[in-house]
Amino acid sequence: MSTATPVQVAIAGATGAVGIPVVTELLKAGHLVTALSRSASNCSSKLPKHPHLSIVEVDYDSVASLTAALQGHAVVIAALPVATPIGSQDKLIDAAVAAGVTRFFPAEFGTDTDNEKCMKLPVFANKMQALAYLKDKVARHPSFSYTALCTGSFLDWGLAAGFLVHPKTHTATIYDDGNLPFSTTTLSTISKAVVSIISRPEETKNRHVYIHDAVVTQNKLIELAKKIDGQDWQLTYVDSAVVCAEAHLEFQKPNADITKGLMPLLHISVLGKGYGGDFSGRLDNELLGIKEMSDEELENVIAKFL
Q: Which of 218, 273, 213, 193 is nearest to 241 (CA)?
A: 273
pTM assigned to the model: 0.94
Q: What is the mean pLDDT of residues 4-25?
A: 93
User: What confidence tens digit (pLDDT) does each residue in 171-182 have?
Assistant: 999 999 999 999
pLDDT at 254: 85
pLDDT at 42: 74
Angle at 296 between CA 293 and CA 299, to 5 degrees: 95
Is a pLDDT exceeding 60 seen at residue 79?
yes
pLDDT at 85: 85
| Helix (H/G/I), strand (E/B), else coil: 63 | helix
pLDDT at 3: 45
The percent of residues in the chain predicted with pLDDT above 70, rounded, is: 98
Segments making up each domain of the chain, as ranges: 8-151+184-210, 153-182+214-276+291-303
User: Who contacts 130 (Cβ-Cβ below 8 Å, separation ≥6)?
Assistant: 78, 89, 90, 93, 106, 107
Element (H, E) at 299: helix 295-303
CA dist 150 and 19 (Å) reads 15
CATH fold group of domain 8-151+184-210: Rossmann fold (3.40.50)
Is a pLDDT exceeding 50 seen at residue 1?
no
pLDDT at 77: 98
What's the whole-number average pLDDT of the chain? 94
Q: Which of 268, 232, 1, 238 is nearest to 123 (CA)?
A: 268
Q: Which of 57, 47, 127, 56 is nearest to 89 (CA)?
A: 127
Is a pLDDT exceeding 60 seen at residue 237?
yes
In this structure, the number of other CB atoms found within 10 A of the CB of residue 127 comes to: 25
Q: What is the mean pLDDT of residues 117-142?
A: 96
User: Which pLDDT band holds residue 287 (cuts at 50, 70, 90)?
Assistant: very high
Q: What is the mean pLDDT of residues 250-265?
A: 85
pLDDT at 149: 98
Task: Tell me if 97 sits within 8 A of 89, measured CB to CB.
Answer: no
Task: Tell me if 147 sits within 8 A of 103, measured CB to CB.
Answer: yes
User: Who contacts 111 (Cβ-Cβ below 8 Å, separation ≥6)?
Assistant: 118, 124, 150, 152, 153, 266, 269, 270, 275, 276, 277
Element (H, E) at 78: strand 75-78
Is a pLDDT exceeding 60 seen at residue 2?
no
| Helix (H/G/I), strand (E/B), else coil: 43 | helix
For 153-182+214-276+291-303, CATH number? Answer: 3.90.25.10
Classify the phi-psi angles of 276: left when phi > 0, otherwise alpha if psi is within -120 to 50, otherwise beta. left
Is a pLDDT exceeding 60 seen at residue 4?
no
In this structure, the number of other CB atoms found within 10 A of the CB of residue 51 comes to: 7
User: Who contacts 138 (Cβ-Cβ below 8 Å, separation ≥6)?
Assistant: 144, 145, 146, 206
Bridge-based pairing of strands 75-78 and 171-175 is unpaired
Is a pLDDT exceeding 70 seen at residue 199?
yes
User: Which pLDDT band holds residue 288 (cuts at 50, 70, 90)?
Assistant: very high
Most confident listed range (81-95, 137-151, 245-259):
137-151
CA dist 136 and 206 (Å) reads 11
Q: What is the mean pLDDT of residues 212-229?
A: 97
